[in-house]
Amino acid sequence: MRVLAAMSGGVDSAVAAARAVEAGHDVTGIHLALSRNPKSYRTGARGCCTIEDSNDARRAADVIGIPFYVWDMSDRFHEDVVEDFLAEYAGGRTPNPCLRCNEKIKFAAVLDRGLALGYDAVVTGHYAQLRTGDDGLIEMHRAIDPGKDQSYVLGVLTQHQLAHSLFPLGDTAKPQIRTEAERRGLQVADKPDSHDICFIADGDTGGWLDEKLGAAAPNRGGAILDEAGEVLGDHEGTYRFTIGQRKGLRIGTPAADGKPRFVLDIEPVSGTVTVGPRESLAVTGLDCIRPLWCGTPPTGPLECTVQLRAHGDEHRAVVVPAADRSDGAAGFSVTLLDSASGIAPGQACVVYDGTRVVGSGTIASTRR
Amino acid sequence: MTVYLDHAATTPILAEAAAAMTAQLGNVGNANSLHASGRAARRVVEESRETVARALGCRPGEVVFTSGGTESDNLALKGLFWARRAADPQRTRVLATKIEHHAVLDPLEWLEAEEDARVDLIAVDALGRIDLAAFEAAVEAAPQDVALVSVMWANNEVGTIQPIARIVEIAHRYGIPVHTDAVQAIGQVPVDFAASGVDAMTVTGHKIGGPYGVGALLVRREVQLTALLHGGGQERDVRSGTIDAPAIAGFAAACELAVKEQPALASRLTALRDRMVAGILAVAPSSAYNGDPVSDVEHRLPGNAHLTFPGCEGDSLLMLLDARGIECSTGSACNAGVPQPSHVLLAMGCGDEQARGSLRFSLGHTSTDADIDALLEAIGPVVIRARAAGQTSRGAERA
């Protein structure tokens, strides 16, 4: 196959590209330039789009012996990922930009351009496994290494996208990948993993949101209330809060029982943030919108497990597709058999059948 | 087989240049040492200087060897600016064009930011040629304020030859020195330093079949320059650093041969280029030829062809041709490998999309009819495929 290797400049994507070459594919390396202004805010970033990362990716491609190009996806990235990220925070939700980037950029804009240019697939360094099921459809399963499994951030991929994807690292544990990178002479073998949001250079999400949303946010400033509606203090913007957050609430008076308080609810229109004890965070059910199914969509109630945040726990659940919700949007509702805590609307609910990803939705609301 | 159509980026070294360079590589001797080995190295350097001077129409003492085009441009711009301002503090204005190479634009931007220079970039017409009336007006607005003028001899992207004689005539009315970056012009079109009247000229080795990392700034004897690299003062006290005798020997050999062969090469490349352009326009009828359509050496570099392919991303075209062994350029400035729309095309009035959907093919001394045949065979299907991929990164194809 002719495949495009998306190379971030990190160790995983470099080894994935090398493995694709070894598997006999005709591989071309590409690095995605995702920032509009590479000279300024990219240079300090610790994510995957600094000039240093681009050079690391180029060097890895040289070592592997494949052609390498930089693709400018900055406008698409800005429209589909950054603007969505801002809108979600402004709406009191907590988005996951990595899922969004996979859905809209890596396995959409890049894949579409690659297919048009005569390529058959995109190969990335994500930790997940693809298999062909009995029905002939491509199934995505969790990676062998539970610490590195990234099937959650890939839960937005459809059958078409999966059929044109390769994840060569899913059967290997991370330490072995580093050893392999070293054996292959890749200089990035000991490069630290990236954890931050790649477009927020210094990792200060709150400060970045202040700067971008700032005074223009409709919900800048408001009251912090307890569950009884008592005002405990005020804040400078609901977008600075995430459900389940404990730190940085800056409430002067301690709780009567002396126990820590957590963000329970964010109401962006009134600008209200409600806090309360840990017990009040427990969630028994969810409603999800924007369903995306990896294969055949479920038609009736499905006993399964769900994962509600990156590297989060699995919860036993029953998923009921709701094609005709009252608001007309497609979606599904989830009844949690094991209650979950601190679940933030905007995050993805990824549905699993054993190790297999069934699909995903965006959490619209939670039930307590 | 590789079809190399990127001679404007760098051209293969001439056998004579490689021989002249390698003949010196084994010799010890610092050209500034006083003993026999030093004198031998000095002799190589001075003979090379005389060769370069003969080839380019200047006096040997007017050749300042440098590490290449970027250094020569920096030395000319900053060196002239500082020296002219030191002589008269009101001279803080620099005139250049919007289509200069980044080796000129970036030093000017630096002078503006750090030295309070006022940089006036003169517009060009749709063919990429300086607007002489605008230039003249800019000079005459306040000639006493102008520190220097810098206008490239020929544009590196679209190949348009600039009216250097007219520029010199206007600037010299007021005693303003003129620098020209001629790295693309040497060996392609006739260039004579003294006859041109310019005060400083940038030339470089690797664009004319010489080695990398060596070039020269030709500077008229009477022109004062402030040094950029301080040290031993080896080159006329304006450029320091141990003299690279082998590279200079290679550069001189290339210079001599390139200038001698220029008329024959120009007529051969003009024919090849015109056939290439006609062929591309025939197989990809929606494409457009950018720059000056007049084929002679008064108007356009003989080895240059620059075309826009509407609806295509230049990147996609380059990548698809590369996969078929055909090497060309998007002709745009590269910023850590991130493609930016060409400032040259934008200055010529192209839109952003047109600027991004363009390719430069540049021919040189090793180009053959077979190269053109290979390109003409590949370009049709490549354009169709690239158009299907569209300008996806711009969001133009969004569902």
Active site residues of B: 334
Residue of A nearest to B386 (CA): A117
Provide, as residue numbers in chain B, all residues whose Cβ is less than 8 Å from the Cβ of A116: 385, 388-390, 392
Q: Which residue has the tokens 């041969």?
A: B257
A16 and A68 inside one domain: yes
Crossing angle of helices B15-25/B245-283, nearest 10°? Answer: 160
Three-state secondary-structure class, residue B334: strand
Q: Is the pLDDT of residue B186 over 50?
A: yes
DSSP summary character for residue B236? T
Quote the pLDDT of residue B398: 35
* Alpha carbon separation from B330 to B197, B321, B336 (Å, rounded): 33, 12, 15
What are the structural domains, with CATH classification, of chain B?
Answer: 3-9+262-398 (3.90.1150.10), 15-257 (3.40.640.10)
- Chains A, B: CB contacts under 8 A, how many? 67
A289 and A316 inside one domain: yes
Quote the pLDDT of residue A105: 93
Q: Is there a domain that residue A195 lies in?
A: no
A156 and A251 inside one domain: no
A105 and A219 inside one domain: no
Lowest-confidence segment of A37-46, A154-163, B122-131, B335-344 by average pLDDT: A37-46
A251 and A336 inside one domain: no
Is residue A321 within 8 Å of A297, Cβ to Cβ?
yes
Structural domain that includes position A104: 2-190
- The count of C-alpha atoms lying within 13 angstroms of the C-alpha of A109, restricted to the half-sphere facing its C-beta, is 29
Q: Which of B199, B221, B226 is nearest to B86 (CA)?
A: B226
A221 and A311 inside one domain: no
Phi, psi of B92 (to 5 degrees): -125, 5
For chain A, the domain total comes to 3
- Among residues A276, A307, A328, the one where a domain terminates is A276
DSSP summary character for residue A345? B
Q: Do B395 and A75 touch (CB under 8 A)?
A: yes
Quote the pLDDT of residue B338: 63
- Among residues A276, A299, A325, the one where a domain terminates is A276
Q: Is the pLDDT of residue B337 over 70?
A: no
Q: Is there a domain that residue A209 lies in?
A: no
Quote the pLDDT of residue A216: 64
Q: Do A117 and B316 touch (CB under 8 A)?
A: yes
- Of the candidates A49, A98, A101, A294, the residue annotated as catalytic is A101
| Residue A304 annotated among the catalytic residues of the structure | no
CATH assignment of the domain containing A56: 3.40.50.620
Q: Which of B160, B162, B246 is nearest to B210 (CA)?
A: B246
Indicate the burial class of B274 (C-beta count within 10 angstroms; 0-12, 13-18, 19 or more): middle
Nearest CA of chain B to the CA of A75: how many Å? 6
Q: Is the pLDDT of residue B340 over 80?
A: no
Q: What is the share, in percent, of chain B residues with pLDDT greater than 90? A: 91
Q: Do A75 and B323 touch (CB under 8 A)?
A: no
Long-range contacts of A36-42 (CB under 8 A, 24+ apart): A36/A74, A36/A75, A36/A78, A38/B335, A38/B336, A38/B338, A39/B335, A41/A201, A42/A201
A54 and A106 inside one domain: yes
DSSP summary character for residue B13? P
A333 and A246 inside one domain: no
A287 and A324 inside one domain: yes
**pTM of the shown model:** 0.87
Cite the beta strand spans of chain B per DSSP E. Answer: 3-4, 63-66, 93-97, 118-122, 146-150, 178-181, 200-204, 215-219, 288-289, 304-308, 326-327, 334-335, 338-339, 358-362
Lowest-confidence segment of B78-92, B151-165, B267-281, B381-395 by average pLDDT: B381-395
Q: Is there a domain that residue A196 lies in?
A: no
Tokens (6 digits) for B180 = 């020209």
- For chain A, residues with pLDDT lower than 70 are 36-49, 195, 215-220, 323-329
Nearest CA of chain B to the CA of A252: how many Å? 48
Out of B337, B338, B389, whose CB is closest to A113? B389
Quote the pLDDT of residue A45: 41
Provide, as residue numbers in chain A, all residues whose Cβ is less than 8 Å from the Cβ of B318: 69
Quote the pLDDT of residue A41: 39
